[in-house]
Amino acid sequence: MSINISLLEKKIGINFKDKKILLTSLTHKSFSPIDNNEKLEFLGDRVLGLIISKKLLEIFPNDKEGSLDKKYASLVNRRKCLDISKKINLENYIVTGNVKSKKNKIEDKIVSDACEALIAAVYLDQGFDVTESFILRFWKNSFNLNIKDQIDAKTKLQEYSLKKYKILPKYKLLSNTGPKHKPVFKIGVSLKNSKTINASGSSKKEAEQIAAKLFLKNLGL
């Protein structure tokens, strides 16, 4: 296993006291069934959720729970973790049992899971304050009006469907997979006489929002 973790440390601006925990956060179970990042991913998901929840309460103190929940779902999900991972080229540092090549890229799920594992590694090695600064530094551009655009996708599609067809869009749960602590919901949405657009998310609400957004994009809206 040969990866330049010092380069990753420079990218994220953190010098780990315990290099082993950083390496573990980057190790997929296909490389090591025992010493891998699954448990760190479990912890990182919770740490990320706590810090994002705390920040949302600070920014939107007057929002109701439902509104905060929608904003949270747009910030804590696999796609967002994947976006952050791309900013730091995290895929280049992940260790798997497969030899990496241009034709054999690491799966998106493995990359986003490693992002959460990295968050846990930062938390265990550096503490809460450093972890909070780390997360907010990379998530800061997401705390803007793009959140509103994303959470309004379902409403926009509903308005379009009612105006054009006088009926509501149909959402259908296609599958529910993944472990209990990190479920993956696949939702299909369709309008009258249209093909179904599918999307996945960590909650039904998130999957519905993403599906609605994709449907609107398909309509050119």
What is the predicted pLDDT for the residue at 181? Answer: 75
145 has pLDDT over 70: no
What is the predicted pLDDT for the residue at 102? Answer: 44
More confident of the two residues 137 and 155: 137
Indicate whether 174 and 125 sit together in one domain.
Answer: no
148 has pLDDT over 60: no
CATH number at residue 208: 3.30.160.20
Domain end, chosen from 144, 175, 194, is at 144
Segment 102-114 shows an average pLDDT of 81
Indicate whether 157 and 120 sit together in one domain.
Answer: no
Indicate whether 89 and 186 sit together in one domain.
Answer: no
The set of catalytic residues is: 45, 116
More confident of the two residues 28 and 143: 28
Indicate whether 68 and 102 sit together in one domain.
Answer: yes
Domain count, the chain: 2
Per-residue H/E/C for the chain: CCCCHHHHHHHHCCCCCCHHHHHHHCECCCCCCCCCCHHHHHHHHHHHHHHHHHHHHHHCCCCCHHHHHHHHHHHCCHHHHHHHHHHCCHHHHCECCCCCECCECCCHHHHHHHHHHHHHHHHHHHCHHHHHHHHHHHHHHHCCHHHHHHHCHHHHHHHHHHHHHCCCCEEEEEEEECCCCCCEEEEEEECCCCCCEEEEECCHHHHHHHHHHHHHHHHCC
What is the predicted pLDDT for the residue at 105? Answer: 77
> What is the band of 209 on the pLDDT scale with cuts at 50, 70, 90?
confident
Indicate whether 56 and 112 sit together in one domain.
Answer: yes
49 has pLDDT over 70: yes
Could you list the residue range(s) of the whole structural domain that residue 175 is in? 152-219
